[in-house]
């Protein structure tokens, strides 16, 4: 990974950017989940009108990843799985996908943490639930792609045992890592960034879609992005899309997130993932204050980000 040594203040804003970026993208996208494409003025109007930016399962699980990494000073599958279970039982109303609550019940009833997910969907889920929560892994393992891959896959295994679900989680974490390792000035080389992602991924479906981003990021036509990359709940129909939204709006957090939500479909999750990468690249100050101020549990989310940065 061609990263640079970042000073500690810059690194801190990047951890904060990845965490707060996930939550803001999730909360802004949530009102539009399942929509066909949405016009930017409509998203902007709703964003300004919401009294609170309330997050969903995407952020709730991302917080679980961070809590467990902090408690165990690194990855511990048993602890992370039980953290997910506890958090879900405390706040089951967050809009979880169909699979995870079933897996949480199995784990609570004694099925080993790395076996439960394989019992669903004939060989595991390829939903985007492992990718949506990847921000803490991306920033924490940013300097070690092998470890990042290994831990991303193992932590995905708790809920997403299908190889494409796990690979989506690893790819999203790596995109966040690459973004966190780049100083935003001077601007990053987008072709080089894409090339690193293509070299990283081990699955053809992701490689094929990443190869399409080179053109799409230069001319981000929503119809074409949905047609070629997808906007669905499956990891392979949403992780490359989020990466494309970030790359087509490199210098604007609102641009990346509005672009993602504007595609319709799984808006909270694609918003959360584009927000995580953009926040990791630009840092937390790129996220408009008027959104940060209204973000639910902002102080706690920020505390976790800073603690992980200091670990
Ligand atoms: C509600 C066939 C499969 C499959 C397989 C499909 C929240 C199923 C968040 C499944 C995110 C869905 C989202 C989601 C995250 C997965 N064969 N179909 N092998 N694997 N699917 O249940 O945590 O919004 O239709 O694992 O990944 O905001 O129901 O949930 O948008 O993908 O949920 O997969 O969902 P799950 P998840
Ligand atoms: Mg959600
Ligand atoms: Mg979603």
- pLDDT tens digits, one per residue of 33-81: 999 999 999 999 999 999 999 999 999 999 999 999 999 999 999 999 9
Instruction: Look at ligand 1, atom 17, and give the residue with the nearest C-alpha.
Output: 121
Angle between helices 239-248 and 163-180 (to 10 degrees): 20
CA 38 from chain centre, in angstroms, equals 21
In this structure, how many other beta carbons lie within 10 angstroms of the beta carbon of residue 260? 34
Instruction: Look at ligand 1, atom 4, and give the residue with the nearest C-alpha.
Output: 125
| 201 inside domain | yes
56 lines ligand 1 (CB under 6 A): yes
| 210 inside domain | yes
| 237 inside domain | yes
The atom number, within ligand 1, closest to the CA of 235 reads 27
29 lines ligand 1 (CB under 6 A): no
pLDDT at 2: 44
CB under 5 Å of ion ligand 2: residues: 56-58, 95, 268
Q: Mind listing the pLDDT tens digit for each residue in 151-200?
A: 999 999 999 999 999 999 999 999 999 999 999 988 899 999 999 999 99
Instruction: Look at ligand 1, atom 36, and give the residue with the nearest C-alpha.
Output: 99
* Percentage with pLDDT > 90 across the chain: 95
266 lines ligand 1 (CB under 6 A): yes
* Percentage with pLDDT > 70 across the chain: 98
| 10 inside domain | no
Residue 6: pLDDT band (50, 70, 90) is confident
| 1 inside domain | no
Q: Which residue in this structure is represented by tokens 């953009």?
A: 278
Q: Which residue in this structure is represented by tokens 């047609």?
A: 227
| 134 inside domain | yes
Residue 85, classed as helix, strand or coil, is helix
Determine the structural domain holding residue 179 and report its residue range: 19-310
CATH of the domain at 277: 1.10.4080.10
Closest to 222 in 3D by CA, of 35, 22, 17:
35
| 137 inside domain | yes
- For residue 186, whether the previous peptide bond is cis, meaning omega lies within 30 degrees of 0, is yes
| 208 inside domain | yes
Burial class (CB in 10 A: 0-12, 13-18, 19+), 150: middle
Q: Mind listing the pLDDT tens digit for each residue in 16-25?
A: 999 999 999 9
Q: Mind listing the pLDDT tens digit for each residue in 71-118?
A: 999 999 999 999 999 999 999 999 999 999 999 999 999 999 999 999
In this structure, how many other beta carbons lie within 10 angstroms of the beta carbon of residue 229? 25
The domain tally of the chain equals 1
């Amino acid at each position: 990974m061609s990263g640079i040594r970042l000073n500690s203040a810059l690194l801190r804003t990047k951890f904060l950017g990845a965490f707060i970026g996930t939550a803001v993208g999730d909360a802004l996208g949530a009102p539009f989940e399942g929509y066909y494409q949405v016009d930017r003025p409509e998203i902007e109007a709703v964003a300004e009108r919401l009294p609170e930016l309330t997050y969903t399962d995407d952020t709730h699980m991302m917080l679980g990843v961070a809590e467990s990494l902090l408690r165990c000073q690194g990855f511990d599958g048993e602890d992370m799985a039980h953290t997910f279970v506890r958090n879900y039982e405390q706040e089951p109303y967050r809009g979880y996908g169909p699979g995870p609550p079933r897996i949480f019940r199995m784990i609570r009833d004694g099925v080993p943490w790395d076996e439960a997910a394989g019992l669903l969907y004939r060989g595991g889920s390829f939903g985007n639930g492992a990718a949506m929560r990847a921000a803490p892994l991306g920033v924490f393992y940013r300097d070690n792609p092998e470890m990042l891959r290994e831990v991303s896959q193992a932590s995905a295994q708790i809920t997403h045992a299908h190889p494409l679900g796990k690979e989506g989680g690893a790819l999203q974490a790596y995109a966040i890592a690459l973004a966190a390792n780049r100083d935003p000035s001077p601007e990053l080389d987008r072709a080089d960034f894409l090339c690193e992602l293509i070299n990283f991924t081990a699955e053809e479906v992701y490689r094929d879609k990443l190869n399409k981003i080179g053109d799409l990021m230069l001319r981000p036509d929503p119809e074409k992005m949905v047609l070629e990359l997808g906007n669905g709940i499956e990891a392979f129909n949403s992780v490359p899309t989020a990466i494309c939204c970030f790359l087509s709006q490199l210098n604007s957090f609102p641009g990346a997130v509005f672009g993602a939500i504007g595609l319709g479909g799984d808006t909270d999750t694609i918003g959360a993932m584009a927000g995580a990468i953009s926040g990791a690249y630009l840092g937390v100050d790129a996220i408009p204050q008027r959104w940060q101020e209204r973000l639910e549990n902002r102080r706690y989310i920020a505390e976790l980000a800073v603690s992980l940065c200091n670990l």
